Amino acid sequence: MKDYERRCIWCLRDSSIASFKNRAHVVPKSLGGTMICSSVCDECNSYYGNRDGLNPSIEQTIREAFIISRTKFLDVNDGIGRNKPMARAKSHYFNIDLKSRTIRPKAQYKLQNDFMRRNGIQLCRGIYKMFLETLSAEGGDACHESFNRIRSFSRYGEDAGLAVYYFLRRHGVFLQTKKWSE
């Protein structure tokens, strides 16, 4: 895709207004993500990697969720991770105790009002980010108006009615509105 044809899937600005010099990784590079979405402008790409006020960055929140999930998946007590090397889980926000099977916010975050709720919202925003960027990277029309609600939630933190529901073990993750689940 040539620069003059680019349009950011988040802010909908094109390359006559926005720059597209940096590579936007769909899954954070710190987690080994290699898929690139070329339709994310530098400003929006930077937004996902930086803190937003008291909220943790969306990229950091995704990273934390992957660390916790990987730790749980490779837990040798469940039999799944038997005979696999167990890397020590290092989390910026949480204390992970494998022996007692607990995850608790670190002291400096435990005292922050609504940290767990804000962290959960950031994770949902990150999952929608990865969804729309994957769609775009695979050739889908992520700028279509049908994705405006995802765009306003993930990029701008508006319309927090979008959620992610997890159905344990049988179905995986479904992206849907609260109304659909009711």
Q: What are phi and psi of 96, to 5 degrees?
A: -110, 120
Q: Give all strands (DSSP E) within the chain, no chain letters.
A: 24-25, 36-37, 94-97, 102-105, 162-167, 172-177
Say which range, 42-46, 93-97, 147-151, has the weakest mean pLDDT. Answer: 93-97
pLDDT (0 to 100) of residue 87: 52
pLDDT (0 to 100) of residue 10: 97
> What distances in angstroms separate CA 20 from CA 29, 45, 46, 110, 137, one per listed residue?
17, 9, 11, 38, 15
Indicate the pLDDT class of residue 38, thresholds 50, 70 and 90. very high
In terms of C-beta density within 10 A (0-12 exposed, 13-18 middle, 19 or more buried), how is residue 84 classed?
exposed
Indicate the pLDDT class of residue 77, thresholds 50, 70 and 90. low
Whether the pLDDT of residue 3 is over 50: the answer is no
Indicate the pLDDT class of residue 55, thresholds 50, 70 and 90. confident
Whether the pLDDT of residue 22 is over 80: the answer is yes
- Please write the tens of the pLDDT for every residue from 97-130: 777 778 888 888 888 888 888 888 899 999 999 9
Cα separation of 39 and 171, whole Å?
30
CB neighbours of residue 50 within 10 Å: 10
As a whole number of Å, the CA-based R_g of the chain is: 18
pLDDT (0 to 100) of residue 167: 60
Task: Please enumerate in sequence order all residues whose Cβ is within 8 A of that of 151, keeping only pairs 6 or more positions apart, or say none.
Answer: 9, 10, 12, 132
Mean pLDDT of all residues belonging to the chain:
80
pLDDT (0 to 100) of residue 154: 93
Whether the pLDDT of residue 137 is over 80: the answer is yes
pLDDT (0 to 100) of residue 24: 94
pLDDT (0 to 100) of residue 127: 92
